[in-house]
Structure 1
């Protein structure tokens, strides 16, 4: 029952990630992005508030007279207004941005699926260790050598080697905690 639920949950997560990635691709294609633009930033002028104008123009036409439409000032103030505006020509590669985002989302999605897979499979692979005790139990240090010798007698499969390394690491952590707590007790 738990295994069936885990498979359906993993399938649902994969479906959600796939739909999300497809939605990003469709949205990126549906909206037409321009790779070149002229951006003019015009500060406040007399009683007119500042404004930013973006238009798709070539680099030679990137100036206030072409980009600022409608012109907010009357004809005799246009030159003074345009001298205040700062116009910049900008280029970008939207295809490179799209590909980078898709690769990033694919890697994150694959890592999430791998994490879900490990969360679902780990309890099935891991066997109950009767020697597992709470970390601060003093009897644990006496039982660990027996557990390690029995696991070495079983064989040297990859899983058993990984479990052995994990047990050694847990033992080291427990010893470090024990020395830290003992030192803390001695100092206080």
Structure 2
């Protein structure tokens, strides 16, 4: 159990450090939540370009965003008419919270999977009522009594195991009838 705790602590530490790294990296880049983005196509001998700037919505046009202007003064209007400018808003805090929740859920599911992988062998014990399929003669001697079967059918896992046992019993009976018929026919 000490190794399980150690693995859980290591995984938790790695997840927290990665989330902290991402948050610090976002703050280091100093992203803004609003921007004006102008996409200008190629014009004459000038290649196309994308311009971004943090301005208010009323100033979101080619004249305020495109700097330096790649064309001389008399072609400026024609160039700006080709450019498509859009004002964009986003909430970086909402994005951060969503990513942290997503990483938390994925981390929790990974921890749960590790827990099940480590604890499942301890939960499943060798059931004396399980019969090997090849041992058909002893199958009627090892059947549990109805009282024992009712006492075991308390949890969902035990119910599923009971259904598996009934299915295995039906398969054994089908095999017996097929092999008996085969012996009778030959």
TM norm structure 1: 0.74
CA distance, structure 2, for counterparts of residue 38 and residue 96 of structure 1: 20
How far the C-alpha of 1:76 sits from its partner, in A, is 1.6
Counterpart of 2:157 (choices 143, 163, 166) is 163
Distance in 2 of aligned mates of 1:173 and 1:72 = 78
Partner in structure 2 of residue 71 of structure 1: 69
Aligned partner of 2:92 among 84, 91, 94: 94
Query: Is there any run of 5+ residues in structure 2 with no aligned partner, and where?
Result: 175-186
Q: Is the 8 A contact 1:64 1:87 kept in 2?
A: yes
Deviation string for 1:130-184 (max 9, x for gaps)? 45467xx3658x57x835858547x5696xx2331221343476669x99xxxxx
Alignment partner of 1:34: what SS? coil
Structure 2 vs 1, CA of residues 31 and 147 (structure 1 numbering), >3 Å: closer, same or farther?
farther
Larger Rg: 2
CA contact (8 A) 2:153 2:162 kept: no
Question: How many residues are aligned here?
Answer: 169
Q: Considering only aligned residues, what root-mean-square deviation do their CA atoms show, in Å?
A: 3.1
Aligned positions of 1:32-181 closer than 5 A: 32-132=30-130, 137=133, 142=139, 146=143, 149=146, 152=149, 155=151, 161-171=155-165
Q: Is the alpha carbon distance of 1:43 and 1:156 closer, same or farther for their aligned partners in structure 2, counting shifts above 3 Å?
A: same
Q: How many Å separate the matches in 1 of 2:100 and 2:148? A: 45
Give CA deviations for 1:105-150 in whole Å, capped at 9, x if unaligned. 111111111111121111122212345467xx3658x57x835858
